[in-house]
Amino acid sequence: MTEPERGGITPLLGMGGAVAVGVVAGVGTAFGVWRAGAPPHWAAVVAVPVLALAVLVARLPRATDVVWSPPVSHLSTAASPQASSLAGRLAEAAIDQDRFAVRVQPRLRRLAEARLRQRHGVPDLADPRAAGLLGPGLHRLLTDPSAPLPDPRTLTELLENL
């Protein structure tokens, strides 16, 4: 299971890559400061914060990563922005198959698996009983990586069957 499917945030680079970028930035800075006439020890002192900043920036999450927060435990006015945010995410997923396959489909899959375990004792979607319980349309939507996001009315009908 990939990091986005687990709901985590993926950084731009792994730790090794971030350190490599930091070292290159630090050495480049030290060399530039030294060539500008600073003593070597001052060039090294100036390069350390640059190295740290480069590592920090390389470890930041990608701008396209969405932090999915858990649903609110009680209804309040905070539910309205969450609903509009969900509608926006679904609209983006409808035109971008990759966004649907990486962001929306795994969450729908986990929801369906939880419901199948809770109501029918079916452990996961790989169980042969899952296809019969969910129906062919919903089962394909949850398991086929190339399945497109259906129109809102069809999606509502499929999720109501859940």
Question: pLDDT at position 29, please?
Answer: 92
Of 64, 65, 145, give the one whose Cα is nearest residue 108.
145
Interatomic CA distance for residues 43 and 46, integer angstroms: 5
Would you say residue 79 has pLDDT above 50? no
Question: pLDDT at position 32, please?
Answer: 93
Question: pLDDT at position 1, please?
Answer: 42
Confidence of residue 31 (pLDDT cuts 50, 70, 90): very high
